[in-house]
Amino acid sequence: MRKPLFQHLLTTLTLALVLLLNSCAVVNPVTGKKQLMVMSEQEEIALGASANPQVLAEFGIYDDPKLQAFINEKGQQMAKVSHRPTLPFYFKIVDSDVVNAFALPGGYVYFTRGIMAHFNNEAEFAGVLGHEIGHVTGRHGALQQRSQIFSSIGLIGVLIAVPGAAQLIEPLSQGMQLLLLKNGRDHESQSDELGVEYSTKVGYDAKEMAGFFSTIDRLSGGPEGRVPNFLSTHPNPMDRFKRVGELAEAEQKKTNNFNLAVNRDAYLRRIDGIVYGPDPQQGYTDNNVFYHPVLKFQFPVPADWQLQNSPQQVVMAPKDGKAAIIFNLAAEKSLREAANNTITKDSLKLVDSQNLTVNGFPAVAMVAEQVSQTQQGTQTLRILIYVIQYDNMIYRFYGMAKAADYNTYNLSFQNTFKNFRELTDRSKINVFAERVKIKTVPRSTTLAEALRSFGVPEKRLEEHAILNGMQQKETVTAGMLIKVVEKGSN
């Protein structure tokens, strides 16, 4: 009886897939081929629009109107020569020192100030800009969404079809992830092609884009520090260096256009003064204390805990991950309202609550629990919450651990929360980010010697060489512009 039933199910499934393919197949604007899509263009745009506020809240917009106008001008120019010229594109530089650029479905493209600082000419910038536009025009974000949906369907199907197959879920998931990584690398390679094509069309030498991959390679630690190719979502940077160089040469021959712009000096002058590395004015840690010079508060960080700071929140956790502290700004206007909403919005069970002061500031301390169901059974999370009113704002601490581990971390939670205080130390307030400054080389010499002449310490010579896209032993000539990192000020 099983064989006919299986054949019937297979026939039904095949028919369903054919109908699905016919209803969801659309022509890819880049390849011109039909492909299965579960997201329309309007849904793409809506997805990007809904995620955009989250991106900006997480990173913040980099405060440089001229640089923002530059990326928007170049981005819109390139979008018009892309495969989706009518799509409303959106370009922003976000306030992160990570060297990165990324795109969301629907035309949302973001560059970090970190990557802007590491470009050494407009052509490098334009190549990467074209690459990110390529992710949008190739509908890679929407395709990845499709892949994730179908990988989930596939795994669920296996569990339904094969009784007792639940133990296979972990290796199956790993295998599916490797398949999705392959899709990711294919998308990266296609976007490299599009980056070459689009940047060439607007008049930039795409060979410079190839050169930027050597910078990426050095930043990632070279062959010794890289993730193995088969586990990386991106192709090897030096493989891309070679391939993009070949693509650029072929594109120039095809278009018979060899008089293409690089614009090194213009770009360097444009980024003169850009913030480099973390910005302590947004909060920083020194000797296990977190300081915020602008909002003028401080609190201790538990010893040996890791900390991640973003415009939305500060997150701290021990290396074993068995506890966490989250610190953020409450939206409510009154202390009591903030305390009540903290319990209700996360569906917490209030165990204890008391009014108190924290270094002179009115506060509410609460203990709450959250019970959830996991594969291992019922799990109870115990949470210590402090809501503190300071300088017309309301701040909130959460200290979280499993109920069984809570007493191990309770003293760490309390030590951090009870030592929230006003920051008055001017030496901790007047701490400013480093900035990239553009210097003119006075005489022909090596890059290393030129950097030394501008006061760059020996231990930072290689860092500066990477920042300049050069080797320390390379020759720099009199009048040449180079980057030097200096302490900045507001």
User: Tell me, what's the pLDDT at 256?
Assistant: 75
- Is the pLDDT at 294 greater than 70? The verdict is yes
- Is the pLDDT at 16 greater than 60? The verdict is no
- The DSSP result for 119-138, as a single string, is --SHHHHHHHHHHHHHHHHT
**Mean pLDDT (whole number) for 419-440:** 97
What is the DSSP code (8-state) at residue 389? E
Beta strands in 113-232 (DSSP E): none
User: Tell me, what's the pLDDT at 155?
Assistant: 32
- Is the pLDDT at 349 greater than 90? The verdict is yes
139-148, 181-190, 371-380, range with greatest mean pLDDT:
371-380
Q: What is the pLDDT of residues 134-154, one digit of tens each?
A: 989 988 755 455 444 333 333
- Residue 33: pLDDT band (50, 70, 90) is low
- Is the pLDDT at 264 greater than 70? The verdict is yes
Count of Cβ atoms closer than 10 Å to residue 329 Cβ: 13
Q: Hey, is 421 helix, strand or coil? A: strand
Beta strands in 17-136 (DSSP E): 25-27, 34-36, 90-94, 101-104, 108-112
- Is the pLDDT at 301 greater than 90? The verdict is yes
Q: Nearest Cα to 276, choosing from 436, 123, 141, 417?
A: 436
Q: What is the pLDDT of residues 405-428, one digit of tens each?
A: 999 999 999 999 999 999 999 999
Query: What percent of the chain has pLDDT above 70?
Result: 77
User: Tell me, what's the pLDDT at 55?
Assistant: 87
- Is the pLDDT at 226 greater than 50? The verdict is no
- Is the pLDDT at 13 greater than 50? The verdict is no
User: Tell me, what's the pLDDT at 243?
Assistant: 79
- The DSSP result for 284-325, as a single string, is EEETTEEEETTTTEEEE--TT-EEEE-SSEEEEE-TT-SEEE
Q: Alpha carbon of 454 to those of 19, 275, 439, 463: distances in Å?
A: 68, 18, 8, 15
Q: Are 198 and 133 in contact (CB under 8 A)?
A: yes
Query: What percent of the chain has pLDDT above 90?
Result: 57
- Is the pLDDT at 282 greater than 50? The verdict is yes
Between these two residues, 118 and 253, which has the higher pLDDT value?
A: 118
What is the residue extent of each domain of the chain? 41-270, 287-429, 433-487
Q: Alpha carbon of 153 to those of 147, 171, 179: distances in Å?
A: 10, 16, 15
- Is the pLDDT at 209 greater than 80? The verdict is yes
**Mean pLDDT (whole number) for 465-490:** 93
User: Among 114-123, 199-208, 259-268, 391-400, which is the least confidently predicted range?
Assistant: 199-208
Mean pLDDT of the chain: 82
Pull the structure tokens for residue 14.
């095949």
Return the CATH fold of 287-429. Protein Transport Mog1p; Chain A (3.40.1000)
User: Among 46-55, 80-89, 415-424, which is the least confidently predicted range?
Assistant: 46-55
